[in-house]
Amino acid sequence: MSALRHHGNLSHTEISSFTGLASGTVSAITAELEKSRLILRTEQQSAQGRGRPRVLFTPNAACAYLAVVIISSDAIQYSLADYNGKLIDRFSERRQETQRGDFVAAINTGLARLASRSRITHEAIRHLSISSKGLVDPAGGRLVWSPVLGDEQVDFHDDLAEVWQNRVAVNNETLLVAEALWMRQQTKPDSLLTGGKGMLAALSLGHSIGLGIARSTASGFEVVAPNFGHMLHMPGAALCRCGSRGCIEAYCGFYAILRTAFEVPPDTIPAKFVPLAELDKIASNARHGNRMAAFAFRQAGLALGNGLARLFSLHDHMPVFVTGPGTRYYDLLQGGILEGLLQSQAVRFGGLPAIHVELNEPELVFEGHMGLALSRMDEDMVSAGMTTPPSAQAG
């Protein structure tokens, strides 16, 4: 299915060469997928008009839909994609809810709007893929701690179950970024992950700090999102948004940079949200020689460098891809990051890691959603051996 989505219409021989599957296996699989109407067969007359027509397979785009919900500090973005992985509709709604109940109600309303705008029923949306920053329990479908709702947990399986049943998946946003980066590396000729082995980290900089790790396993690969932003940087020190003291985020989250730049005491309760324009102003001051502003970014870089060094001490070196809105200040953070890395023995002896700046985080997040959700949908739909009955489509 992913070969068909990636390359478009494919013939039997092409499927075999793209997937490495034997011809007989391809026949068995395409026959089964065709029977359950997950793929469609088209016949193409050869250019000369002679001989047998070429048979091509393509995913049955309208047989099921996928909704993606991306929760961020100030907005919720809703996207609808078809079974071919093609984006059909997208809109964002500003978010003000601070109560769990209102928050869940807002998502339900947003999803209903998504379905009605494309004139499809709830049942036609076979999978709902949700992401947020913070601590997520993917197996339980729960948001355990989020910058948006704090300690108020959201159980998406329970809360959206009535309408969406067992088709809800919740993931940490930076985990999805790591997943997308991993998939991109697989198709690169100059891949950083040689010989199908390796590990990479995605580090997301913004109001909060996220880390995702993708690594190879015996059966393929896995992605995890360790609680990097709230790992201890300095015991008993600056107050973090999570309520603890001395977390990495309490030094390099946007609110922390703001706090240092304006010389506000580090035990001041963090601002709920800092507009980018505010950070841009501090960055501009730093670039024009303001010492306190420059120090705020250097201190943030130092916390990130120390944190990454600890990660390498435990897991060995891996390439790091820096993403998120904070990448626009990378020139100001870089010095502190290098300094923080070099303070550790792991880096002094093991060398500096490869660090890449990836500017388009939203694209990576969506790619990660699609990668995980479509393969889960494939499994669900093949095991169910059926597609949405035609009656589920309203028009």
Q: What does the binding site for Zn ion look like in residue numbers (CB under 5 A)?
A: 230, 240, 242, 244, 247
- Please tell me the distance from the alpha carbon of residue 337 to that of residue 298, in angstroms, as a whole number: 8
Choose between 244 and 393: whose C-beta lies nearer to Zn ion.
Answer: 244
3-class DSSP state of 322: strand
Rounded least distance, CB 44 to Zn ion, Å: 58
Rounded least distance, CB 27 to Zn ion, Å: 55
Rounded least distance, CB 152 to Zn ion, Å: 16
Choose between 182 and 251: whose C-beta lies nearer to Zn ion.
Answer: 251
Q: Report yes or no: 125 and 117 within 8 Å, Cβ to Cβ.
A: no
Choose between 157 and 230: whose C-beta lies nearer to Zn ion.
Answer: 230
Choose between 126 and 233: whose C-beta lies nearer to Zn ion.
Answer: 233
User: For the chain, give me the number of helices (H) and strands (E)?
Assistant: 14, 16
- Please tell me the distance from the alpha carbon of residue 344 to that of residue 8, in angstroms, as a whole number: 48
Rounded least distance, CB 328 to Zn ion, Å: 23
Helices (H), the chain: 2-7, 12-19, 23-35, 100-117, 156-159, 161-164, 173-186, 249-252, 254-261, 276-287, 291-315, 330-342, 345-350, 361-384
What is the enclosing helix (H) or strand (E) of 246? none
Rounded least distance, CB 248 to Zn ion, Å: 8
- Please tell me the distance from the alpha carbon of residue 337 to that of residue 323, in angstroms, as a whole number: 14
- As a whole number of Å, the CA-based R_g of the chain is 23
Q: Report yes or no: 241 and 255 within 8 Å, Cβ to Cβ.
A: yes
Choose between 127 and 230: whose C-beta lies nearer to Zn ion.
Answer: 230
Choose between 247 and 293: whose C-beta lies nearer to Zn ion.
Answer: 247
DSSP 121: -
Cα 100 to the chain's mean position, in Å?
A: 23
Choose between 247 and 333: whose C-beta lies nearer to Zn ion.
Answer: 247
Rounded least distance, CB 245 to Zn ion, Å: 8
DSSP 122: G
Rounded least distance, CB 227 to Zn ion, Å: 9
